[in-house]
Structure 1
Amino acid sequence: MAETRGAEAIPQWKMDEVAELKDLVKNYNIFGVVSFESISADQLQKMRRNLRESAVLKVTRNTLNEKALKESDGSVPDMVQYIEGQTALIFTNDNPFKLYKMLAQTKTPAPIKAGAVAPFDITVNKGPTSFPPGPMLSEFQGAGIPTAVEGGKIAIKETKVVCKAGEKVSQKLANALSKLEIFPMEVGLILRAVYEDGTVYLPEVLHVDETEMFNKFVTAAQEAFNLSVNAAIVNKDNIEVLIQKAHTEAVNLGVEAVVFEPEVMDKLIGKANAQATSVAKASKYEL
Structure 2
Amino acid sequence: MVKEWKVKKVEELSKLIESYPVIGIINMQKMPAPQLQAIRKELKGKAKILMSKKSLMKRALEKAKKEGIKGLEEYLKGQPAFIFTEMNPFELFKYIKENKTPAPAKAGDIAPKDIVVNKGNTGLPAGPAIGQLSEVGIISKVQDGKIHVVKDVTVVKEGEEISANVAAVLNMLGIHPMEIGLDLLAAYENGVIFDKKILDIDEEEYRRRLNECIVSAINLSLNSSYLTKLTAPMAIQKAYLEARALALEAGVYTKEVMDELLAKAYREAMSLKKMITEV
The TM-score bracket by the shorter chain reads 0.7 to 0.9
Question: Offset at 1:103?
Answer: 2.4
Question: Offset at 1:38?
Answer: 2.5
Quote the Cα distance in structure 2 between the aligned partners of 1:270 and 1:229: 36
Unaligned runs of 5+ in 1: none
Question: Offset at 1:91?
Answer: 0.6
Quote the Cα distance in structure 1 between the aligned partners of 2:114 and 2:27: 25
| 2:63 is equivalent to residue 71 of structure 1 | yes
| 2:265 is equivalent to residue 268 of structure 1 | yes
Quote the Cα distance in structure 2 between the aligned partners of 1:126 and 1:119: 21
Q: Kindly indicate whether the alpha-carbon contact (under 8 Å) linking 1:62 and 1:87 is maintained by their aligned counterparts in 2.
A: yes
**Which moved further from structure 2: 244-253 or 14-23?**
244-253
Q: Which AA in structure 2 matches 1:263?
A: E
Secondary structure of 2:102's counterpart equals: strand
Quote the Cα distance in structure 2 between the aligned partners of 1:224 and 1:81: 40
Structure with bigger RCO (C-alpha 8 Å, 6+ apart): 2
When the two structures are superposed, what TM-score results if normalisation uses the length of structure 2?
Answer: 0.81
Deviations 1:83-126 (Å, cap 9, x if unpaired)? Answer: 12211110112222222222222333333321334344432111
Deviations 1:237-278 (Å, cap 9, x if unpaired)? Answer: 76488458625742552353274933321123334556x49x
Q: Kindly indicate whether the alpha-carbon contact (under 8 Å) linking 1:232 and 1:242 is maintained by their aligned counterparts in 2.
A: no
Q: For residues 242-281 of structure 1, what are the structure 2 equivalents within 5 Å?
A: 242-243=236-237, 246=240, 249-250=243-244, 252-257=246-251, 259=253, 261-271=258-268, 276=272
Corresponding position of 2:108: 115
Corresponding position of 1:157: 150
Cα distance change of structure 1 residues 253 and 197 upon mapping to structure 2, 3 Å threshold? closer
Deviations 1:164-209 (Å, cap 9, x if unpaired)? Answer: 4454322111111122232333332222222234332222233332
Question: Which of 171, 195, 203 is the equivalent residue of 2:188?
Answer: 195
Quote the Cα distance in structure 1 between the aligned partners of 2:211 and 2:198: 23
| 2:23 is equivalent to residue 26 of structure 1 | no
Q: Which AA in structure 2 matches 1:183?
A: H
Q: Kindly indicate whether the alpha-carbon contact (under 8 Å) linking 1:106 and 1:188 is maintained by their aligned counterparts in 2.
A: yes
Secondary structure of 1:214's counterpart equals: helix
Question: Offset at 1:133?
Answer: 2.3
Cα distance change of structure 1 residues 143 and 242 upon mapping to structure 2, 3 Å threshold? same
Corresponding position of 1:87: 80
Corresponding position of 1:62: 54
Question: Which of 23, 27, 45 is the equivalent residue of 1:53?
Answer: 45
| 2:173 is equivalent to residue 176 of structure 1 | no
Deviating runs (4+, > 6 A) in structure 1?
none
Quote the Cα distance in structure 2 between the aligned partners of 1:82 and 1:235: 45
Percent identical pairs in the alignment equals 32
Quote the Cα distance in structure 1 between the aligned partners of 2:249 and 2:241: 12
Q: Kindly indicate whether the alpha-carbon contact (under 8 Å) linking 1:122 and 1:163 is maintained by their aligned counterparts in 2.
A: yes
Cα distance change of structure 1 residues 134 and 13 upon mapping to structure 2, 3 Å threshold? farther
Quote the Cα distance in structure 1 between the aligned partners of 2:142 and 2:58: 58
Question: Offset at 1:128?
Answer: 0.5
Cα distance change of structure 1 residues 147 and 243 upon mapping to structure 2, 3 Å threshold? closer
Q: Which AA in structure 1 matches 2:89?
A: P
Corresponding position of 1:40: 32
Cα distance change of structure 1 residues 109 and 265 upon mapping to structure 2, 3 Å threshold? same
Question: Offset at 1:226?
Answer: 4.7
